[in-house]
Amino acid sequence: MKIHLDLDCFFVSAHRIEDKTLLNRPVVVVKRNDREIFKNEKTRLFNLNEGAFTGDLIAGEEKYDKSYFLEKGKVRGIVVTASYEARELGIKTGTTLTEALRIYPKLTVLTPNYRLYHLLSYKLKLYLKKKIPLVEQYSIDEFFGDLEGWVDEGEVNGFIKNLKDEIWQKFNLPVSIGAAKSKWIAKLATSYAKPYGIKVVENIDEFIEDVPVGKFPGIGKRIEKRLKEKGILTLGDVKREKEYFYSWGKNGILLYNRVCGIDNEDVVEKSERKSIGISRRFDPVFERGEIVRRIGVLCRYLAFLVKKKKVNPTFYYLSIKYKHSKKSKAHITLNRIFDEFLLKEIMTLLFYKADVEEDYIISIGISVSKFKKVSNLFDLEKDKKMEKLNDAIYKLRSKYGLSTLVSASEII
């Protein structure tokens, strides 16, 4: 049997550990567009060497007064986590703060504390590894576990119930747990166990028969619409349309097998990282010079992460989101030894290539992948010199912070 654990409204639950007055009240954690990373003044940066799944860098003290949510007299912000009390009122992830306060003016609004979330997630992972021989961290608040050869199938229900209770007793964190022979059916089962419950699936065919297709992990809005147009409304319908899904090719076969619980995918404790990226959403900006400056800031952060992972990327990717819903992207493959200055040069060029709309920009994302130890022979000597310089910069930033050395192009 494989199990899936999902912490219930994790961010809110984390705050409740430190402040018991938040219990049994409508509470939301709200994030504003990221302003910290693009400030000209120094920003404290936390390097989580033993952090959780979702990253290594956290900017800012994360302690703000009410003005954090105000801009030119308007309330700004998006709900990233809502307590179940808030959800019962109709407030959920993605709700704007303005709408949330309209629904319930007495709502308790919190700003994120990512250091706390990462620390709790990391401690929980260490604890789970003592209880289960194989643990895979799927996200900051989700884990898979493999009980094969560890817990008899007839004892799984009691085991996960005790595990749920122990996590509450030790961490004061509510968790829901699903169990099945397939890891993705176990994840689906967890959604039926919430909040703070357990669900063991013994007969997969019976369990999935009437489940709406949109509830299955991996079926997003686009695929859901495509399936409904063909009359495939439930996972039971999916199971009866094998030929249709297999006609999609590799991705269709994978999805079909997961839905039917015949994927045989293992719980993987640690997989090799295939890409490293960073993206930020911000208030609309039209001035392209400012966008280029912000790309330079993102490159500084990304370069630090690449050096930390000790990899050499050869594939560079940049994406843009515009104010009026349009998107654009550009990429390039380059066999060079990685350095921050090369990264900034490439990403700037990719931006000018991708920027095809006369519109305000609200988000920039950059990433690197296809890690290899290679270099163009014509640039080898130059790249080796830059590599030494970047190693020295990395050491300084690791010791004194990422804002210790900033390129002139980042300063207005």
Query: Distances from the Cα of 81 to the Cαs of 26, 72, 86, 100, 287, in angstroms?
Result: 11, 25, 10, 12, 33
- Span of 199-208, 247-256, 310-319, 375-384 with lowest mean pLDDT: 375-384
Q: How far is CA 313 from CA 279, 371, 397, in A?
A: 17, 4, 21
- DSSP, collapsed to helix, strand or coil, labels residue 214 as helix
Residue 96 β-bridge partners: 78
Q: Which residues contact 55 (CB under 8 A, 6 or more apart)?
A: 48
Average pLDDT of the segment spanning 240-261: 95
pLDDT at residue 62 in the model: 47
Left (φ > 0), alpha (ψ -120 to 50) or beta: where does 401 sit? Answer: left
* In 88-134, alpha helices (H): 97-103, 114-131
What's the average model confidence in pLDDT over 214-225? 93
* pLDDT score of 48: 40
pLDDT at 61: 42
Q: What is the DSSP letter of 94?
A: T
Return the C-alpha torsion angle 189, 191, 195, 198, nearest 10: 10
Six-digit token string for 64:
């703000």
Q: Can you say whether residue 264 is alpha, beta or left, with left for phi > 0 and alpha for psi between -120 and 50 degrees?
A: left
Residue 42 has pLDDT above 90, yes or no: no
- Maximum CA extent, the chain: 65
Residue 114: the pLDDT is 87
Tokens describing residue 2: 């494989």
Q: Identify the DSSP state of 233.
A: -
Q: Residue 406 has what pLDDT?
A: 63
Instruction: Give the C-alpha separation, 21 to 12, whole Å.
Output: 12
What single-letter DSSP state applies at residue 358? Answer: S
* 3-class DSSP assignment, residue 190: helix
Q: What is the pLDDT of residue 282?
A: 86
pLDDT of residue 375: 55
DSSP annotation of 210: T
Residue 81 CB burial class (10 angstroms; 0-12, 13-18, ≥19): buried
CA gap 167, 125 in Å, rounded: 11
Q: Look at residue 57 in the predicted model and tell me its pLDDT.
A: 44
- Kindly report the backbone phi and psi dihedral angles of residue 49, in degrees, each rounded to the nearest multiple of 5, phi listed first: -60, -30
What percent of the chain has pLDDT above 70?
80
CB 52 within 8 A of CB 125: yes
Q: How far apart are CA 304 and CA 283, in angstroms?
A: 25
Q: Cα(57)–Cα(117) distance, rounded to whole angstroms?
A: 13
In eight-state DSSP terms, residue 245 is H
> First and final CA of the chain: distance in angstroms?
57
What's the rounded Cα separation, in Å, for the pair 108 and 36? 23
- State the residue for tokens 């009980």: 147
pLDDT tens digit sequence for 288-301: 999 999 999 999 98
Tell me: pLDDT of 241 over 90: yes
Residue 391, pLDDT > 80, answer: no
pLDDT at 46 over 60: no
pLDDT of 44 higher than 50 = no
Predicted pLDDT of residue 43: 47
- Residue 171 above 90 pLDDT? yes
Q: Which of 85-99, 223-237, 374-388 has the lowest mean pLDDT?
A: 374-388
Segment 117-164, tens digit of pLDDT:
999 999 999 999 999 989 999 999 999 999 998 999 999 999 999 999
Which pLDDT does position 50 carry in this prediction? 37
The rounded percent of the chain whose pLDDT value lies above 90 is 66
Q: In this predicted model, what pLDDT tens digit does every residue of 317-366 receive, in sequence order?
A: 999 999 998 999 999 999 988 989 999 999 999 999 999 999 999 999 99
- Rounded to an integer, the average pLDDT of 76-81 is 88
pLDDT band for 283, please (50, 70, 90 cuts): confident
AA letter at 195 = P
Residue 183 has pLDDT above 70, yes or no: yes
Who wins on pLDDT, 216 or 52?
A: 216
Contacts of 403 (CB under 8 A, 6+ apart): 42, 43, 45
Q: CA 58, 220, 354: angle at the middle one, nearest 5?
A: 60
pLDDT of residue 135: 95
Contact (Cβ atoms closer than 8 angstroms) between residue 189 and residue 144: no
Mean pLDDT of the chain: 86
Q: Is the pLDDT score of 213 beyond 60?
A: yes
Gap between the Cα atoms of 56 and 60, Å rounded: 14
User: Would you say residue 67 has pLDDT above 70?
Assistant: no
